[in-house]
């Protein structure tokens, strides 16, 4: 039980990578606070954890809003008295050509993916500094490393920001025994990915099986990530085994990007 007696808060935990990470951390003994903007997804994830014998609480929150970030973290600390793991996973995107990106799309993507991550790090750190320990994990992306198959340039820029924030936060918080790392998923089978494939199928008329082949093309190991692949990395980074790893952004992508 690598995370026994740890309290973990995961944003965007209603589906995809967040849900897989919540289930994985609960299996390893963590009490998991499941946060998502969609209440029905929160309830379903909490129920799944509890049905498997784990302990969880649900929080409906929009991480693009600072007052909701504060409420989210405060509710966890008030209930459990500590916060050991903060996994900033919530993220949004949609497929868009470079010249079609407008201010509305840019602000939506960066409001969640960059602003939300920074202020979740800051708010979690306030508690972890008092404790003298903590692990902060962010979901970045190989898009932030220049992967050309990204959904759009605004998304890539937001994930590049997460990689930079991870290094800055690691330097600022290391003295308090707080580690800060990011996971950079490659092509991953999630609702978000499925939505992009569905849109391409509808707009471009490409058969779904061909889209799946295209998605896996260029991956040396020849396999698209499952969300659980990211969840297992999150468990590792949250555990004592990673106590001396900080400021890193680790690719989980089958070798698609090797930088």
DSSP state string for 56-91: EEEEE--TTSHHHHHHHHHHHHHHHS---EEEE---
**Number of neighbouring beta carbons within 10 Å of residue 240:** 10
> DSSP assignment of 31-56, as one string?
EEEEEES-HHHHHHHHHHHHHTT--E
Radius of gyration of the chain (CA): 17
**Weakly modelled stretches of the chain, pLDDT under 50:** none
d(CA 137, CA 234): 7
Catalytic residue status for 80: no
Query: Which residues on neighbouring strands pair with residue 87, listed in sequence order?
Result: 10, 137
Per-residue pLDDT, 191: 78
Query: Which residues on neighbouring strands pair with residue 135, listed in sequence order?
Result: 85, 179
- Element at 26 (helix H, strand E): helix 16-27
Q: Where are the beta strands (DSSP E) in the chain?
A: 7-10, 31-36, 56-60, 85-88, 134-139, 178-185, 188-189, 225-226, 249-252
d(CA 230, CA 185): 7
d(CA 42, CA 30): 17
Per-residue pLDDT, 211: 76
User: What is the Cα 149 distance to its own chain's centre?
Assistant: 19
Query: Which residues on neighbouring strands pair with residue 179, listed in sequence order?
Result: 135
**Number of neighbouring beta carbons within 10 Å of residue 206:** 14
Per-residue pLDDT, 217: 83
Per-residue pLDDT, 140: 98
Q: Measured between alpha carbons, how far apart are the two ends of the chain, in Å? A: 32
Tokens at residue 150, please? 């990204």
Choose, from 80, 87, 155, 176, the residue flagged as catalytic.
155
Q: Say what the pTM is.
A: 0.94
Domains and CATH numbers, the chain: 7-252 (3.40.50.720)
Per-residue pLDDT, 48: 98
Per-residue pLDDT, 10: 99
């Amino acid at each position: 039980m690598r995370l026994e007696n740890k309290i973990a808060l995961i944003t965007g935990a209603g589906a995809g990578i967040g849900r897989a990470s919540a289930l994985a951390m609960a299996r390893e003994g963590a009490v998991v606070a499941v946060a998502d903007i969609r209440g029905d997804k929160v309830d379903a994830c909490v129920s799944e954890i509890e049905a498997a014998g784990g302990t969880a609480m649900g929080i409906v929150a929009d991480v693009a809003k600072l007052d909701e970030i504060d409420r989210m973290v405060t509710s966890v600390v008030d209930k459990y008295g500590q916060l050991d793991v903060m996994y900033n996973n919530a993220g949004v995107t949609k497929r868009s050509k470079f010249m079609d990106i407008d201010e509305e799309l840019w602000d939506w993507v960066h409001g969640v993916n960059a602003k939300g991550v920074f202020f979740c790090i800051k708010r979690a750190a306030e508690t972890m500094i008092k404790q003298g320990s903590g692990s902060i994990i962010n979901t970045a992306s190989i898009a932030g490393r220049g992967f050309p198959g990204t959904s759009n340039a605004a998304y890539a820029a937001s994930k590049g920001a997460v990689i930079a924030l991870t290094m800055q936060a690691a330097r600022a918080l290391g003295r308090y025994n707080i580690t800060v790392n990011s996971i950079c998923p490659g092509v991953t089978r999630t609702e978000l990915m499925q939505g992009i494939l569905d849109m391409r199928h509808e707009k471009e008329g490409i058969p779904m099986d061909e889209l799946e082949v295209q998605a896996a093309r260029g991956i040396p190991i020849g396999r698209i990530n499952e969300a659980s692949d990211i969840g297992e990395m999150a468990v590792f980074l949250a555990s004592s085994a990673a106590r001396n790893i900080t400021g890193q952004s680790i690719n989980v992508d089958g070798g698609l990007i090797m930088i």
